[in-house]
A = this chain, B = another copy of it.
Amino acid sequence: MNSKKLNVVVWGENVHEHTNEVVGRLYPEGMHATIAEALRELGPELEVGTATLQEDECGLTEERLANTDVLTWWGHCAHGDVPDEIVDRVQKRVLEGMGLIVLHSGHYSKIFKRMMGTTCSLTWREAGEKERLWVCNPGHPIAQGVDKYIELEQTEMYGEPFGIPAPDEQVFVSWFEGGEVFRSGCCWNRGNGKIFYFRPGHETYPIYYDKNVRRVLINAVRWAAPQGSIWKDEAPNIPIEDAPEKIEKCGDSLHAAGEEGFK
């Protein structure tokens, strides 16, 4: 596992960078380019590529995903433009073991809602207010190199209730100047895949240039990397003669011998 580079794909919706002057000025090459650059700088052991909504198959072909260890996801205004079959494909790979890092407004992406099974709703306000992300677990790999908290001078606010399943691990909780709180760094295991949601990232502020945010991104990518073999989705019939204990058929059946199950 050590000899091979970890393949990371940074996915970006890449729309506001071209339609909003502020975003275009902050991220002239696109937010995905800035995130990818941060990962390359901090993780020389990674092989980092990018993919965007505008590419064929969103840049996420079966073959490319098959070779991706960790995928990061930023989207906002065009969640609905990601075809369902791409979402199916990403979900399948996460369940097989690919790590998934969902960023900021990606909370409403099809893939995050698919993995969570919940609304992923929240409250929000765009006032350029201060956010302070507190570390809830100082020994968690994703919090390494971060002090007691991360302070961001200007952010969009996201507030509770956040419509997610109870996180397996809570890494950050945010305080906002305007009076709200938010579970801003959450971990889940799903199938073989590890999922991390990280709140910062509003496109009108230079969030992805912040050194603490970049530290969390590289930590999260390393944490989410697959640690075991692939778990394929299949529901194999175990023929009676292959039962670990010797048994004989009795009673009525629905399926003829050798028939596949319904799916």
Contact = CB atoms under 8 A, between A and B. Distances in A.
Interface of A: 16, 20, 22-23, 76-79, 91, 95-97, 105, 108, 114-119, 121-129, 132, 134-141, 143-144, 149, 151, 154, 157, 159-163, 165-170, 173-181, 183, 188-192, 202-205, 223, 226-231, 233-240, 243-245, 247-255, 261-263
A180 B229 CA distance: 22
- The copy count of this chain in the complex is 4
Contacts of A119: 95, 191, 233
A255 B126 contact: yes
A250 to B, nearest CB: 4
Contact of A254 (B188, B204, B245, B251): B204
Contact of A250 (B76, B128, B132, B166): B128
6 contacts: A121-B235, A124-B236, A124-B261, A138-B229, A159-B238, A175-B176
Nearest to A137: B161
A240 B132 contact: no
A124 B235 contact: yes
B167 A166 contact: yes
Nearest to A219: B228
Nearest to A129: B247
A191 to B, nearest CB: 5
B179 A243 contact: yes
